[in-house]
Structure 1
Amino acid sequence: MKNFNSQSTLLFSSLLASVLLFSNCKKDVETEFTPSVEAVSATSSKKLVLNPLDLSSAKSDNGYAVLIKRAIPESIKGDDAKNPKASIVRIFENGKELGAAHASHGDIRSIGKGQFSHWGTSLIFSASDNTDPRKNGRSYTYAVGAGSIPVAEEKLPVADEKLPVADLEAKRSGTPIGFANVNGKTTGGEGGQTVIVTTLTELTKAVESTSPLIIKVKGTITGSGSVYVKSNKSIIGTNGGTLNGVGLKIFSVSNVIVQNLTIKNVVAGSDDNDCINIKYSDHIWVDHCDLFADRNNGWEYYDGLIDITKKSSYITISWSKLHDTYKAMLLGVSENDKGGIKVTLYNNHFYNLNERVPSMVAGEAHVFNNYFSNVNGYCVGSRIDGIVRTDNNFFSNCSTPIDTYLGGDAVGYISGSNTNYYDKSGSNDIRTVEKSWTAPYQYKSALLNAKDVPAVVTAGAGPTL
């Protein structure tokens, strides 16, 4: 018995020393936290409550790290210098758990790969693939304690899950689906000379040419305001082609393609600037583009990402990302647009927005296979006798997915609202009888199952190399 007591005392002393040594570890040398078997087994039947993380206030913390101050309520204890593993917060990306938890802030910045730290009331974390969590369109949530993800969450598609290449490519098309191929074809600068532009001067000269041209934008072109695009042009981004602060005005022209291009931070100013502004024009195709700004400068600082007005018609927007601004897309602006606006939107990702996603006024729009996520106001709005046909879209964390009552009596119409999938979103506000309007072109072979939309769209939308 004496030997047993001596061994017990020795074991207890060793354990105590280990605990004291561990409690003095600094944050920058921490290792991955693994909950005890007892802690997990005691609560494994508990269904976790996933709470959304507000990324609107997230800031870069250098490298792969993003910082959200006051992300977690004060009542939930976070790590601190004395208790570097106190937090029991868990972070999820599209329902899939991230980790390591309690990571050193240096590792989160330099290694990333989903590591995070709940420090005080702040959260420092990284995406699973080191993309920017503020821009990758994924849903980030947190839960407290041990337990399992609700069954409904487990079945949601993972946004960065790629379908087999053959299946994905089969959904893409070398020519646009929709209105851009009705009453004529949209071919852009096909048959014209190919020119490469790297400066604003070169870009301006090329887009204002009266000849058909295939214009390849190489690198980043920075400026302010907009350039005016003439008919029969293809403007294609290559090698990361980007317009920073420079928008495209497509006014009173026909047959324009904008493809593989990033356009960002176009300030509205006094001259009605948008990333892409289309007026009095027809047969326009915007494909595989990335358009965005920010929500840090007030409602009027930027206007829309794409505005299509003044009876512009036979337009398709496909496989593009529109995100991080207040107002995404205006289709028509007044009763004067009646009978004119005709737009198809498919396989686009709209995220981190407030409204006009899109707003249809007095025209016709077909919206299918689109992924809407994190929209604070309304997504698809229809007013002044506008008609929107929706097919197999996916709405996630959207306040009002579809709205036909945007104030006043000038209501619009919807068809196909029951074909969409609604996840963690508010109710539609549809106050008019559903219309029987259908698209005047073939598209059924390209329809996705609504639940597959997030995976397919996030894998394929935006510029391709």
Structure 2
Amino acid sequence: MGNDTQRTARIRRLPLRPLSAAAVLCLAAGAGALTGTGATATTGTAAPAAAAYESSPVGFASMNGGTTGGAGGTTVTVTTASQLTDYASRSGSYVIKVNASISLSSMTKVTSNKTIIGVGTAGKITGYGLNVTNAKNVIIRNLTFTGSADDAINVQYSTNVWIDHNDLSNAYDGLVDIKRASDYATVSWNHFHNHDKTALLGHSDDNSSEDLGHLRVTYVHNWFDKTTQRHPRVRFGNPVHVFNNYYGAVTSYGVASTCNAGVFVEKNYFENVKNPTVTQTGDSPDGNIKADGNYLTGSGGIATRNSSSVASIPYSYSAESASSVKSTVTAGAGVGKVS
């Protein structure tokens, strides 16, 4: 826990290398040298840029049987808090379409085999957020979350969760917090903005008994826009994969690895970010970071630590060149892009 901005990050600046800007197939990507300001570093074989609108998740949520949410179940449209609360907490498979601005009076429980998806740009959640707890196979997509008196989205004791194409801002606590032995999650194409403690991964420094061997999460194609810290802030998880995200005007740090976590920070675009990565924050002990092919402009250097201890990424994927990530993500992240 603690204040993530209390202590100075340990930064190691790495030399500028004039390497190719081609997109790559990344399964075998190594630790790789990092870039200097305004340059790119990539390795491997050229691959097409990623598609903006996946119909199924990239990364960890594609594993462990996959994440399909309420597919094959009953489809309902909700416009009130009571309807949303009712259907989200039912047993069985549901696709819940949110077609209104709904103000919740408390955190709303989401059970297994649910898709909660906004209609066009109409789906909006205010007041409180969604609590995915003791659940499996949940999709939260195409919703605007703002003004929660707690978290916008909280995930705990849950597996196979896909959080995709949402707009999240101005919660009291976290925007997307994943903790307490949760596993096999993907956070993709979300627009995070105007917030402090953005995306926590791992409950607390003393929760290793629950979290070791879990907290495997992919963060891909997210837009962190005028946010402060935790993009994500990781404890214990290994590997955690952070790739092809755009960081714009982040005021404290980008990615933090603590509590001996293992984070692979790959081909992200950091613009005007003082500390793109840190290996310690708050009162937490050091974590480990491996980095490759990131693009830095107006930003500080990349901190890495014990790269060899970061576990290999266990799924196949393609990553685009970091230099093109800003245009891809700003065009594709947020609501109104999927149906």
TM bucket by the smaller chain?
Answer: 0.7 to 0.9
Higher helix share: 1
Q: Does 1:180 align with 2:55?
A: no
Q: Is the 8 A contact 2:226 2:249 kept in 1?
A: yes
Tell me the equivalent position of 1:212. Answer: 93
Q: Is the 8 A contact 2:187 2:219 kept in 1?
A: yes
Q: Distance in 2 between matches of 1:370 and 1:218?
A: 29
Give 1:375-390 correspondences, 5 Å limit: 375-390=250-265
Counterparts in 2 of 1:443 and 1:280: CA distance versus 1, 3 Å: same
Give 1:322-401 correspondences, 5 Å limit: 322-333=192-203, 334=205, 335-336=208-209, 337-364=211-238, 365-401=240-276
Q: Does 1:452 align with 2:327?
A: no
Give 1:83-94 correspondences, 5 Å limit: none
Q: Distance in 1 between matches of 2:117 and 2:284?
A: 42
User: Deviation per CA, 1:35-81, whole angstroms, max 9, x where unpaired?
Assistant: xxxxxxxxxxxxxxxxxxxxxxxxxxxxxxxxxxxxxxxxxxxxxxx
2:126 pairs, out of 244, 257, 273, with 244
Secondary structure at the residue paired with 2:86? helix
Q: Distance in 2 between matches of 1:170 and 1:197?
A: 30
Give 1:39-438 correspondences, 5 Å limit: 170-239=51-120, 240-268=122-150, 274-293=151-170, 302-333=172-203, 334=205, 335-336=208-209, 337-364=211-238, 365-406=240-281, 410-415=285-290, 417-438=291-312
Computing the radius of gyration over CA atoms, which structure comes out larger, 1 or 2? 1
Moved more, 171-180 or 351-360: 171-180
Count residues in correspondence. 288
Deviation at 1:169, TM superposition (A): 7.5
Counterparts in 2 of 1:359 and 1:436: CA distance versus 1, 3 Å: closer
Deviation at 1:339, TM superposition (A): 1.1
Q: Distance in 2 between matches of 1:308 and 1:380?
A: 15
Tell me the equivalent position of 1:442. Answer: 316
**Letter in structure 2 aligned against 1:235:** I
**Letter in structure 2 aligned against 1:381:** A
Tell me the equivalent position of 2:22. Answer: none
Q: Is the 8 A contact 2:262 2:288 kept in 1?
A: yes
Q: Distance in 2 between matches of 1:349 and 1:289?
A: 10
**Letter in structure 1 aligned against 2:70:** G
Tell me the equivalent position of 2:333. Answer: 461
Q: Distance in 2 between matches of 1:279 and 1:352?
A: 27
Q: Is the 8 A contact 1:190 1:234 kept in 2?
A: yes
Secondary structure at the residue paired with 1:266? coil
Counterparts in 2 of 1:169 and 1:347: CA distance versus 1, 3 Å: closer
Q: Distance in 1 between matches of 2:72 and 2:282?
A: 48
Q: Is the 8 A contact 1:187 1:232 kept in 2?
A: yes
Q: Is the 8 A contact 2:263 2:310 kept in 1?
A: no
Deviation at 1:172, TM superposition (A): 3.5
Q: Distance in 1 between matches of 2:105 and 2:327?
A: 35
Counterparts in 2 of 1:363 and 1:457: CA distance versus 1, 3 Å: same
**Letter in structure 1 aligned against 2:146:** K
User: Deviation per CA, 1:438-462, whole angstroms, max 9, x where unpaired?
Assistant: 2100012xx1110000000000011
Tell me the equivalent position of 1:13. Answer: none
Deviation at 1:168, TM superposition (A): 7.1
Secondary structure at the residue paired with 1:324? strand
Deviation at 1:250, TM superposition (A): 0.3
Q: Distance in 1 between matches of 2:140 and 2:313?
A: 23
Secondary structure at the residue paired with 2:276? strand
**Letter in structure 1 aligned against 2:192:** L
Q: Distance in 1 between matches of 2:166 and 2:268?
A: 19
Q: Is the 8 A contact 1:279 1:308 kept in 2?
A: yes
Q: Structure 2: 5+ residue runs without aligned partners?
A: 1-36, 41-47
TM-score (norm 1): 0.59
**Letter in structure 2 aligned against 1:384:** C
Tell me: higher relative CO, structure 1 or 2? Use CA pairs within 8 A at least 6 residues apart. Answer: 2
Q: Structure 1: 5+ residue runs without aligned partners?
A: 1-151, 157-166, 269-273, 295-301
Q: Distance in 1 between matches of 2:67 and 2:162?
A: 7
